Structure formats: structure tokens, C-alpha cells
Amino acid sequence: MSTDLNTLEQAAEREYEWGFVTDIEQESAPPGLDENTIRFISAKKGEPEWMLEWRLEAFRHWTKMEEPTWQNVRYDPIDYQSIVYYAAPKSMADGPKSLDEVDPKLLETYEKLGIPLHERALLAGVAVDAVFDSVSVATTFKEELEKHGIIFCSMSEAIREHPELVKKYLGSVVPVTDNFFATLNSAVFSDGSFVYVPKGVRCPMELSTYFRINAKNTGQFERTLIIADEGAYVSYLEGCTAPMRDENQLHAAVVELVALEGATIKYSTVQNWYPGDENGVGGIYNFVTKRGKCLGNRSKISWTQVETGSAITWKYPSVLLIGDDSVGEFYSVALTSLRQQADTGTKMVHIGKNTRSTIVSKGISAKFGQNTYRGLVRINRGATNARNYSQCDSLLIGDKCGAHTFPYLEVRNSTATVEHEASTSKIGEDQIFYCNQRGISTEDAVSMIVNGFCKEVFRELPMEFAVEAQKLLAVSLEGSVG
Amino acid sequence: MSTQTIQKSDFIEACIAAGGDAAPLPKLREEAAAAARALGLPHTKLEEWRNTSVRVLSETEFDHRPSAAAPSGILRSLPMQDAEIRLVFVNGRLDEALSSVPRDLSGAYVGLLRNAPESVQERLLSVYGTVADWRTLHFVALNTACAAECAVLWVPTRAALARPVHIIHLGVSSGKPAASHPRLLCMLDEAAEATVVETFAVPGDQVAFLNSVTEIKVAADARLFHSRLQLGSEKALHISSLQANCADRAKVEQTTFTYGGALVRNDTGSVLDGEAAETTLNALYIARNEQHVDNHTTLDHAKPNCPSFEMYKGIVDDKASAVFRGRIIVRPDAQKTDSKQSNMNLILSDDAVINSKPQLEIFADDVRCTHGATIGRIDDEPLFYLRSRGIDAKAARHLLTFAFASEVLDAIQPEQLKNELEALIFARFAAGDTLPSSDDLHS
Amino acid sequence: MNMLEIKDLHVSVEEKEILRGLSLSVKAGEVHAIMGPNGSGKSTLAQVLAGRDDYEVTSGSVSYEGEDLLELDPEERACRGLFLAFQYPVQIPGISNSYFLKAALNAQKKYRGEPELDAFEFSALLKQKAKLVEIDEALLHRAVNEGFSGGEKKRNEIFQMAVLEPKLCVLDETDSGLDIDALKIVARGVNQMRSPERAIIVVTHYQRLLEYIVPDFVHVLVDGRIAKSGGKELALELEQKGYADFERAAASV
């Protein structure tokens, strides 16, 4: 038979295209974490006293917390005292006033990643905040957005320029004490993006942040806060890459979304941190807390994620459906190949009346990858007429990988409708054969079938990202067939 | 040490002190007692016990050597009361007067483990305690340490027991609530066949604690139908562990019907330990008032080509609560596994609580596994269909509730049991409406 | 007196107007065919008559035997003799067809103050009617519509109609999904039910069914209104010319 599916088992000899290192002079904090580290970070960013206090409070709480162990992932203990908590290109210390003053090496880096920051080459219709290790390098289209009253800037700038908004919303969705990694982030967060879309404004372009870890031994702890005021709409994209390094690096981000009455926030992620090599050496530990609050009636938060990178992924983008008639969505593709492990899913907490949530999760496991979906749907007592539909499908390529599904459904209202469906299957030999017979190579057939499998999720991504996601998946699966 | 911990060990010590004098394998009993002591009582911080608290056990003063007799006429209130092959246990001890074992059993043995013919006994003892895991499961350890007797069903190679075997465990209290630890071992040799109904019942509104273990060992090509009924008092405490082990092409079809009990916890599992072995686990749980029913199931696919089917359905009313956790494990060698699981719940009141947690853990690639879970009300679509045919909304809702439940009973064996259970739930959900009687269902 | 009198009926589904001023009179003993292209509102009409919730009547009236039909619950309509043969009959696992029918029949009899049937009478009735629509008796003991083929579902609808003996039968696309033999059987069943006391409304896309159930009147439904009414010859005209002319005419209104 022409379709030798055994070749499927030679999974994912992937080329990580983004593994280069930018050789640039760094300014960083010494490794280790104590109150001085936090004072150092806060001072570097020129933060007001209240922000420093906020961080210190988080740190004091964190020292009393224990690292969670319930996830279905395995890794060697992290030494929190050997991590560098702040690293920035030296050239950024002088605070370049415009793009022309930014170190060309940095601009080149983003160029290489396909994210040009020069106005002349900007991606049409996408405003970018580029974050390099602990600092924001540049934010494009700022003036254009300001015309609409939209604030899009780095978190550091927001703390200085818009303290009233930051004070009001920072930590309002993910409390400082939420969990081990979120609390750590609250203490040491470096940069990230801040978005505020005022009442009734539909953001005219996609906003995006591109995160790049470059420095060695550095953790990245970005913090993102997005607020959509009444009737506002915003679509936000996030992309991430890191160099190939032999040691593991920690990425512990927190993302908070707030949607007021009638507002919609669409948050998309294409996560492609370095996954480590085929023996499981190196790669990013991606321990992220993402949560949105549908505060107002008829508000909507939609998470879409394509997770192909990281050695370990541990994240549950969630929605608290507080306003009546609010809507939460979670669309996810998670691919684990090589020795990657992912424990990801969502929480949909129905609090308001007539709230609706949809969960579509597609897990793909190849080679030695271990992929876990973990999701919670809770219908509270007051959530009359709440509805949830969840679908979790897993696709296995090769017989050394694993797929696990752990949904938790908790219902305490008789008018609720909660439906969960899950399936696990492999790529059928008959499907491959049919493709071969029509002249399609086995590799293309796999890629085609996987893309078909993920279609419902890709459909939710903005155009440019959908194309990138498909390519990423194809690259990640390269070599998984002969 | 907190007072609570002392109470917990008190409960376990009291159980161990009272039980087990006639139990087989004294050494095993001692090891199990040590395990039970070490494990203690489970608490809600354990993932397996997250939604079910057994604090009532340490807070209640039990009668660990209950001597009450079965109330007269008790059998008449149970389904399958006239089964010709019948063992009746009262608080874990065989009541010979109520039991009935005909002579001709096609070579099979139904009775106490300690009375089994010597050649068979040896084999039974070699299986006893090896199917259900007493080393890690709290209540299996406790039962293994405390069981007063062990009931046995053994069917030799290629024999088929045509008539159903009914094993009845009664928990009967006089004064303090009775505690007992019923035990059953079913062993089917190659290509043997049998149908077993295991009833756990507590009369009236008595409080009694039944901690049962059922071990099922099915050899190649053998086939067993097993039904577990939990009936009677809504104040009873039922903890029940059932574990099956299936060899090549063996087939087990197990149905659990939960109707009585304030606290019910069932751990039900099967290891598909031979090629092309098959297991079906079905359940219907109906809870009202403040009843709490917790079902934990595990289908462990250890060998290739094994299908498994699971349908757990619940109807939860008032302040009752139900928990379902269903694990499907597919081991690396278990290629061509075909597993279907569903958990469907009807929630009838805003005070009711349902927690459902299906789980797939898959380590092989050539498999087909699906699971589905639903929690909700009666669908509008069939409701409208019934109303459009002239059935009023209330009766239509009741009929659909009954229909929802009866789907589980379809597979139950024997037919007589299916009819009796259908009549029972029909009376609960549909009687008094403008509906024909349940007898008409079978006309 | 007309059995059914629909006047200037406007119906919306999810705020979209589907029926836009439909009027129709039906007398006992008549067979009316309502034909129309997809999306013209045929099925909406059938569902509204049966009392489906999701359809909002925004204006107009429907009287049935002189009473306001729209005021009645779905089951009251059924008990007063209105029957809808569904286009997509729903499955009801766990309830046998025969039990379901007995529950329905006795509910209707009770409503009308007639004596209910006992098990023997009912069983005899079922047998007789099963023969009428040539339905396999095994089907009676299976759960309602569960695992039925498309044809079996449609025959089952006609079978139920035969057992319940309604006064006004509404057949919603009963011909869809049937092969020619099944179609003939269904048509035979319907024809046997024709009587001076009974009215039948056949909703269909195709003329095919009307070769076997010959209507007294044919109405062309386009864009939520009846564009033309006529005798059975109108169906043939439609078959030859299609709906295009009517659609153009409707668009120009």
C-alpha cells in the first residue's frame, strides 16, 4: 500500500524558523527575586509609588504560595532565584522619541519576524505594539487611533499617563492573589499592552502585540489590560516567538479583559514560543493566566488561540459572564509534537441571565506530545436560561503521543442547557489513500486533514493570522509523515 | 491531632473490631485492615471525593454487630422477589430461611464462599481480593477487612445458568443504624453465561450503612449480565464498589439503578484485559429531596480491539445532587479501541446540583472514543410534538421524563426486572396524568 | 361555514416577516394544495396552524370551526381535530410508537368527553389502521421515529393521522424524501381518509404528490402571500412553467 502510515510516526522534525538571537547590548537586573528586584523594575519604569506598593503586596503574598501541581504536565522544578526578571536592550534606556531613534538591530529583528515597524512597510490595518524582553520597543498607528479616542500603548506608559484607568481595572479581573503564576506576574510584570476603547467606538483596525523573548535566562512577565467601554468593539491579536536555547525559560503572563455594556472584545493568540528540541531540551514554559469579565449586559468576549509552541503550555483563557445576555467564546487549536506538553482549556462561569458560551477545542498530538483539554462550565444558581455548548476533539498522529480530555460541568439552575461532546480519532488510512489516489502527497494530505479538523477555529481568526496559523501548523507537522 | 481525625479512625477501628471473623484469607484481611487504617476516611480535598463528603460516617454512632432480623414481607416489596435462585443477606449475614438455592444449577455454585466445594473454593480464593483494589480504594480496603461473609456465583466452562440469580443485601437497623460490608464474587469460566441481580435495600426510612464490594472475573468468551439495584429508604448510606475483569472476548453488561439512599457512592469499573473483550456500563439514578448520588466509573482498555459502551442518566429534583465522573483509559497497546460514553442529566429544580466530569485519557492512536454530557430540561421539540398530538403540557413533560429514564432500562436483564423497574419509575413520573398505565408499555 | 378561515395573516420568525398577508378558506370535505418555492412560507403556515411557539403572529386572524385558533394551546388544537404531519418528525427514544399513540388518542377522547379505549380495543384499532397505511407492525413497538428511515417516518405520520382521525389534516411536505412506491402508499392512506367531514391541506413543493392526492383547489404561495388560486390544473401549469413567473409578479407588487 502506498500510504505507509508508519511514516506518520516519524513525527515533527520541525524547523523552528524563529530561533535566531539578536546580538544586542542588554541592561538587566541580576538574577534572583526579592523586594529589591521589584523596586529595581519599578524604578526602571519610572512608576508611581502606588504601583510599587501594589507589586510589593503581590510579592509578599507570593512568598506564601505554593506552586500548583494538579496540571497534567511534568517538568523539573523551577529555580525562581536563577531567573532574570528584567532585561532590556540598553538603547531603550534612553527612551527613543521616535522610530528613527530606535536601535536598527531591534527593527531588523521584527523585520525578520515579519513584523515591520516602519510606517512605510506597516501591515495594513494592523497596529502593533512590539515588546522585546521586558520593554515595549514601539507602538505603531498611535496617532491614527488617538483620533478615535482609543488608547493603545505599552503598560508602562499607561501607568504613567492613564493612572485612573489602570488603578480602576488592573487586578479587577485576575486578582493579585489569584494563583501562583499570576501573583508572581503581579509582582514582577515588565511590559505588555494597554488598550482602552471609549464608549460607542468601533476600533477601525486590528490591534496587536508581538512578544519576543531574546535575552538568556530571562523570564517574560508581560501584563495586558484591555477595556472596551459601553458599545465599543475591539479585535486584538497577540503573537510570540523566542530564540532556540537549551535551557527552559519562563513566560508567566497575565491578560485581563473588561467588556462593559454592549461591548465586544475579540482576543486572538498565535503562540509560537520555542518548543524545545526532539529530546525535550529547552523551550518556553508558558504559564499564563487569561481572563475576561463580561461586566455589562449584552457584552461579548471571544478568545481564539492557536498554540503550537512552548515546551509546556498551561493556560485557560476564561470568561466570567456577569452581565445579562452576555456571551463568552473559546476557540482553540493546540498542537503538541516533539516532547511538548499542553494542559489548556477554558472556564466559562455563567452568572447573569440568558448568558451563552461556546467552547470549541481541537487538540492535535504528534510524536511524544501530550495534549490535555481541561475546561470548566459552571452555571450559577441565578443564571436563568444559560446555555453552553462545548466540543472537544482530539487528533492523534503516531502511537507515542497522548490526548486527554477533562471537562468539568457544574450546573445549579434547572433552566440551564449544557452540552458537551468530545471525540478522539486518528487520521484515517482511507482518507490518506483517497488523497493519494487523487495525486496529493501524504504530507499534504495530513496537512489538509489537520487544517480541516481545525477549520472551525481558524474561521474565528482575522485573515492574516489565519493564514499564518495554517502555515505554522504545516511547519510544525513537517516530518511527521515520510 | 484534631478531634475529627480521632473520630475518623474511631469509625474505621469500630468496623474492623466488629467484622471479619468468618472472612476468608486471614492474612489478606489483616493487610486490608492495615490499608484501611492508613487510608482513613476520604475527604473532599481528594480529587476522587471532591463532590462527596462522607463525614456522616464519622459523625454517626453505628451498630457494628447488628442483630436485627429482616422485617416480615420485606422481599415482597422488592423486584424479582420470586427469583428461584436467591441468597438473602441481612446486615451481611446469610438468612437461610429467606434464601433459596435449587439443586440443579447446571453444575454452577451459588452460596457462601466458605461452603463452596473444595476444588472450586481454592480457585475462588485465588481470585478473591485481586479484582477490586483494596490497596488504594478506601472502602474496598474497609470491606476486605470487615466483610462477614462472601457470596459466590461460579459457573463452570460452557455452562449457562438460564435462570437469573438474585443476591439481596438488606441493611436492617434496630436502634442504632446498622453497618455492614456485603461482598460478592462472580466467577465465570470459559464460555459460561449467567445473569445476576444484586439488590441493596434498606426498609422504610431507616438509616443503615452498606459498604459493598462486588468482584467479577469473567474468563474468555464468557458473558455476564449484572444489575445493581439500590432501593428503599432515602436515608440509607450506600457505598458500593464493583470491579470487573474481562478476558478475551468476554462480555459484561452492567446496569446500576439508584433510587434509594441519602448518600450513594458507586465506584464501578472494568478492565478490558483480553482482546475483543466488551463491557457495557449503564446507570439510571433518580434523586429527590436531599439525596446525593455520586457515580465514579472507569473503563480501562488494556488490550486491543475492545469496545465499551457507557450510558449514565440522571433525573435530579428538589435539593438533590448528582455527581458523575467517567474515566476512559486507553493504554498504549489498546489499538482499535472503540469507546462511547454519555452522561445525560435532567435537572428538575433550581436547587438541584449536577456535576459531570467525563474524562478521556488516551495513549494509543488508532482508537475511536467519544463522550458526551448534557445537563438540561426536557427538549422543546418532542414536547411540542406530543402536545400537537393532544397530550397536555404537564403529562407530556412527565411522559418524556419517563422516556428519558426508560432508555437505560432497555438493556436490562431479565425482562421481568426491566418491566418491574419501568413500572416503578412510571408510577413516580407519569402516574395520575392522562396517560395509559405502564402495563400498556409492553402490550 | 368554513372550517378554517385565515384572514390577512402576518407571521414573523425572529423578527423576519415570513407570511405577509395570507388568506385562505377551507370547507369540510375539501382538499387544498399549497404549493410554493423554498422559503415562500409553506412550512411556516403549517407550524403556525399547529401552534408552534417560535412563530409570532403580528396581525390577521385564523378561525377554526368558528373559534379563534390562535388562542388555543397546541394540544387543544389537536384535541379539536387539527393534525399536522410534520416535515421532520422528531425522535423520542424510550417511548414506543404504540404507547405514544394510545396516550394521544385517549387524551383527545377525554378532552371531547368520549369514552377512552381499553387495551384490547386500542390494539384492534392499531392493527386495522396499520393495514390501511401498510405499515409494518414491528414499527409500532419501536420508539417513536427512532432509527426510522425517512420513508418510515412519513408513513408513521400518516399512520398516526389514521388512528387519531382528525377533522383538519395539514400535511407538511409529506412527499419529501419518499421514493415513488412509498409515495403511492402514503397517498393511498391519505385518500382513504378523504370524507365529507374532513378537510385536508397538502403543503408541497412538487406537483408529483398531487398526481396521487388530487386536490380540489391549488394555491400558489409566493413570498408569504397566495399569488394565485385555481383548480388542480394549476398544479400542472406550475409543473411546466415553474415558479419564476409568480416570483417575478410578487417582486413587482
Residue B28 has a pLDDT of 92
pLDDT-based confidence at residue A74 (cuts at 50, 70, 90) = confident
Please tell me which residue of chain B has the smallest CA distance to C84.
B388
ipTM for the predicted complex? 0.80
Is the pLDDT at A92 greater than 80, yes or no? no
Which of helix, strand or coil describes residue B360?
strand
Whether A425 sits inside 8 A of B361 (CB atoms) is no
Residue A12 has a pLDDT of 36
Q: How far is B289 from chain A (nearest CA, A)?
A: 15
Instruction: Please indicate if any CB of chain C lies within 8 Å of the CB of B388.
Output: yes
Is the pLDDT at A94 greater than 70, yes or no? no
d(CA A346, CA A354) in angstroms, rounded, equals 20
Is the pLDDT at B50 greater than 70, yes or no? yes
Q: Among B353, B354, B360, select the one facing A424 at the smallest CB separation.
A: B360
Taking every pair of Cα atoms in chain C, the longest distance, rounded to a whole number of angstroms, is 60
Q: How far is B281 from chain C (nearest CA, A)?
A: 18
Span A379-402, average pLDDT: 90
Residue A125 has a pLDDT of 64
pLDDT-based confidence at residue A283 (cuts at 50, 70, 90) = confident
Contact residues for B411 (Cβ-Cβ < 8 A; gap 6+):
B253, B255, B280, B282
Whether B355 sits inside 8 A of A394 (CB atoms) is no
Q: Among C53, C78, C98, select the one facing B389 at the smallest CB separation.
A: C78
- Angstrom CA distances, A17 to A208, A209, A305, A366, B74, stand at 21, 19, 20, 19, 76
Is the pLDDT at B396 greater than 70, yes or no? yes
User: Are B224 and B197 contacting, i.e. CB atoms less than 8 angstroms apart?
Assistant: no
* Average pLDDT along chain A: 84
Residue B341 has a pLDDT of 92
User: Are A63 and A181 contacting, i.e. CB atoms less than 8 angstroms apart?
Assistant: no
Chain B neighbours, 3+ Cβ pairs < 8 A: A, C
Residue B90 has a pLDDT of 96
Residue A7 has a pLDDT of 35
Is the pLDDT at A112 greater than 80, yes or no? no
d(CA A443, CA A441) in angstroms, rounded, equals 5
Please tell me which residue of chain B has the smallest CA distance to C140.
B443
- Which range has highest mean pLDDT (A48-57, A202-211, B20-29)? A48-57
Q: How far is C236 from chain B (nearest CA, A)?
A: 33
d(CA B321, CA B354) in angstroms, rounded, equals 6
Any idea which of A125-134, A334-343, B272-281, C168-177 has the lowest mean pLDDT?
A: A125-134
Whether B387 sits inside 8 A of C73 (CB atoms) is yes
Whether B332 sits inside 8 A of A421 (CB atoms) is no
pLDDT-based confidence at residue B291 (cuts at 50, 70, 90) = very high
Whether B373 sits inside 8 A of A409 (CB atoms) is yes
How would you classify the pairing of strands B307-316 and B263-272?
Answer: unpaired
Is the pLDDT at A479 greater than 70, yes or no? no
Residue C172 has a pLDDT of 94
> Per residue in A173-204, pLDDT tens?
999 999 999 999 999 998 888 999 999 999 98
Is the pLDDT at A18 greater than 60, yes or no? yes
Instruction: Please indicate if any CB of chain C lies within 8 Å of the CB of B406.
Output: yes
> Per residue in C28-59, pLDDT tens?
999 999 999 888 999 999 999 998 878 999 99
> Per residue in C191-243, pLDDT tens?
999 999 999 999 998 888 999 999 999 999 999 999 999 999 998 888 888 88
Whether A399 sits inside 8 A of B366 (CB atoms) is yes
Q: How far is A427 from chain B (nearest CA, A)?
A: 9
Examine chains A and B and say if they touch (3+ CB pairs below 8 A). yes
Residue B442 has a pLDDT of 64
Which helix (H) or strand (E) segment is C45 a member of?
helix C42-50
Any idea which of A108-117, A361-370, A459-468 has the lowest mean pLDDT?
A: A108-117
Any idea which of A205-219, B343-357, C79-93 has the lowest mean pLDDT?
A: A205-219
Which of B164, B195, B194, B185 has the alpha carbon at shortest distance from B81? B164
Which of helix, strand or coil describes residue A103?
coil
Please tell me which residue of chain B has the smallest CA distance to A389.
B374
* Ordered DSSP codes for A188-241: H----EEEEE-TT-B-SSEEEEEEE--STTB-B--EEEEEE-TT-EEEEEEEEE
d(CA B169, CA B177) in angstroms, rounded, equals 15
User: Are A392 and A422 contacting, i.e. CB atoms less than 8 angstroms apart?
Assistant: yes
Residue B9 has a pLDDT of 62
Whether C119 sits inside 8 A of B440 (CB atoms) is yes
Residue A5 has a pLDDT of 35
Residue C20 has a pLDDT of 95
Residue A13 has a pLDDT of 41
> Per residue in B196-216, pLDDT tens?
999 999 999 999 999 999 999
Residue A215 has a pLDDT of 73
Residue identified by cell 410508537 is: C97
User: Are A1 and A88 contacting, i.e. CB atoms less than 8 angstroms apart?
Assistant: no
Higher-pLDDT residue of A354 and A468 is A354
Whether B370 sits inside 8 A of A423 (CB atoms) is yes
Whether B407 sits inside 8 A of C93 (CB atoms) is yes
b/e for A187-207, b at 16 or more Cβ within 10 A?
A: bbbbbbbbbbbbeebebebbb
Q: Among A407, A415, A418, select the one facing B358 at the smallest CB separation.
A: A407
Residue B263 has a pLDDT of 98
Instruction: Please indicate if any CB of chain C lies within 8 Å of the CB of B431.
Output: no
pLDDT-based confidence at residue A3 (cuts at 50, 70, 90) = very low
Q: How many CA atoms lie within 13 A of C134 on its CB side?
A: 12
Is the pLDDT at A49 greater than 60, yes or no? yes
User: Are B181 and B75 contacting, i.e. CB atoms less than 8 angstroms apart?
Assistant: no
User: Are B366 and B331 contacting, i.e. CB atoms less than 8 angstroms apart?
Assistant: no
Cell, residue A452: 480541516
Residue A95 has a pLDDT of 61
How many other C-beta atoms are found inside a 10 Å radius of the C-beta of residue B174? Answer: 12
C100 neighbourhood in chain B, CB within 8 Å: 386, 389
Which of B130, B35, B427, B79 has the alpha carbon at shortest distance from B255? B79
* Average pLDDT along chain B: 92
Span A308-319, average pLDDT: 91
Span B124-149, average pLDDT: 95
* Optimal mutation site among B312, B374, B375, B378, interface A, most CBs of chain A within 10 A: B375
Residue A358 has a pLDDT of 96
Residue type, B300: D
Span B354-382, average pLDDT: 87
Whether B376 sits inside 8 A of A407 (CB atoms) is no
> Per residue in C56-89, pLDDT tens?
999 999 999 999 999 998 888 999 999 999 998 8
Is the pLDDT at B7 greater than 60, yes or no? no
Whether B350 sits inside 8 A of A414 (CB atoms) is yes
Residue A9 has a pLDDT of 36
Residue B5 has a pLDDT of 41
How many other C-beta atoms are found inside a 10 Å radius of the C-beta of residue B72? Answer: 7
Compute the CA torsion angle A175, A179, A182, A186 (nearest 10 deg).
60
pLDDT-based confidence at residue B20 (cuts at 50, 70, 90) = low
- Which range has highest mean pLDDT (A273-277, B310-314, B384-388)? B310-314
B396 neighbourhood in chain C, CB within 8 Å: 75
Residue A438 has a pLDDT of 67
